[in-house]
Amino acid sequence: MIDELLSDLKSGYEQAVVALRRESSKIRTGRANPNILEGLRVDYYGTPTPVMQIAAVKVADARMITIQPWEKNMINAIEKAILTSDLGLNPSNDGTLIRLPVPALTGDRRREFSKQVKDMGEKTKIAVRNQRRDVNDMLKTMQKDGEITEDDLKKALDKVQDLTNDVTKKIDEVVSEKEKEIME
């Protein structure tokens, strides 16, 4: 039973780190990265659809993303979605292809994005601590109910703390990698 709880906790921690990586990849770093368009939805025949599903999104060079819609009539809808989003990018199109130049970041924007990444990391740590608290409460309840001994409880609580410390280090690494990428 304890092993099951620890396994579930470890899985939850891994999911938290994966979610942090995915969310932080959406933050612009001054280099062209198609992941910044991941949350962008386009009105596709009345249905909000991710741009990745209705167009080929490619990185042409370090500062240019190209978007080629599968259907030419979607070019204006994609352009409008980019302009109304909070990406701060100005698309240009030639009738078949949308070019999305990614401007270099200013110092203030870099600090702002760096702060966003730190906030994401802190929210992830809070989620991890909440998971730890829930598992610790379950373990203490199991000990009160007589399902496990006090020694087993102590060992399990130590394992939970070790797992939490490991995932906290991973979260810090992800945040510092992204901050380094933003500040380049």
* pLDDT at residue number 172: 94
Indicate the SS3 state at residue 58.
Answer: strand
* pLDDT at residue number 109: 79
Indicate the SS3 state at residue 5.
Answer: helix
H-helix or E-strand containing 93? strand 92-93
CB crowding 119-147: b at 16 or more within 10 Å, else e: ebbeebbebbeebbeebbebbeebbeeee
- Helix boundaries (H) for the chain: 2-25, 51-54, 75-84, 107-144, 150-183
Sign of the dihedral defined by the CA atoms of residues 42, 46, 48, 54, in that order: negative
* pLDDT at residue number 126: 95
Q: Show me where the domains of the chain are located.
A: 2-26+106-183, 34-101
* pLDDT at residue number 73: 87
Residue 164 near residue 129, CB atoms below 8 Å: yes
One digit per residue, pLDDT tens: the chain, 184 residues?
888 989 999 999 999 999 999 888 877 676 777 888 888 899 888 889 999 899 999 988 888 899 999 988 889 889 988 888 877 788 888 888 999 888 877 888 788 888 989 999 999 999 999 999 999 999 999 999 988 899 999 999 999 999 999 999 999 999 999 998 888 7
What pTM did the predictor assign?
A: 0.72
How far is 174 from 41, CA to CA, in rounded Å?
Answer: 27
Per CATH, the number for 2-26+106-183 is 1.10.132.20
* pLDDT at residue number 87: 76
Any idea which fold 34-101 has? Gyrase A; domain 2 (3.30.1360)
